[in-house]
Structure 1
Amino acid sequence: MVLGRRKTGEDARRRHAEDETLAGRLPELLDTVESAEAALRAANAEGAEVEDLHARGVALDTALTDAMRAAYAQERTLIGARGYDDRIYRRKRLAAPKVKAATQAAEHLLTLREAHRLHGIERVPTSPAGI
């Protein structure tokens, strides 16, 4: 018997595998964010209609949300499967430099998404009732 060694549960291993899959898509999702942002900027520069700007803003929000979720999945992947069950192990692993960098990247994406939600999505005017 090895002391200090804990087994991870089946649920933790399953969630870890799901996070690995999602984290593997992060570069692709970041490219999607970049292209959605470029499309929104181009539409703004061209003076597009409000509805088009709204649709492109929502597309960028969706891309930022997916990339943020993948970045947090990457953080959990770097922590390891044991981090799902053992909070002390998770806290210790959060101090590792690679995990800190992944956390900072995920939080940066979260900040970008929140700023975009506050200021970047054009509001579509509603038509008055009865018209």
Structure 2
Amino acid sequence: MNAMTDIQGRQRFDPSTMRGSNVMSVQWAALQDAGAAVAALAGLTAERPTAQVRNFPALVRDLGGWRLELATQGVADLAAVMQPGLKALLATSARGQDPTPAALCLWREFREARAALLALAPDTGAMGPLRKA
């Protein structure tokens, strides 16, 4: 047996065993991948993620409180939009139709929603992240 087919003895990923900010971290990473796929379908070049984008889950986790709660819900909401949106774009492309206009719309929505989430944990430069209020 090779490693690709021998999954019976391996522990499978179960999101129900993850809690709170860990789920958000996984969803955030998946959202960045989905955003990159949407950008590609829109004919845009890939963005290089900023430190704030890469570190958002940790930054907002350090802030805690209402910011963490709002970020967790916002990331879940954005994932709920991106999943069917990307699926529809891929289906459109698979049928030989041009997904560019719809992909551009979804890309803009993704960027706006991501910017709103990032505003919950402002990039404070050399001063480091904000602390709990």
Specify the TM-score bucket, using the shorter chain as the normaliser: 0.3 to 0.5
Bigger radius of gyration: 1
Give TM-score scaled by structure 2 length.
0.37
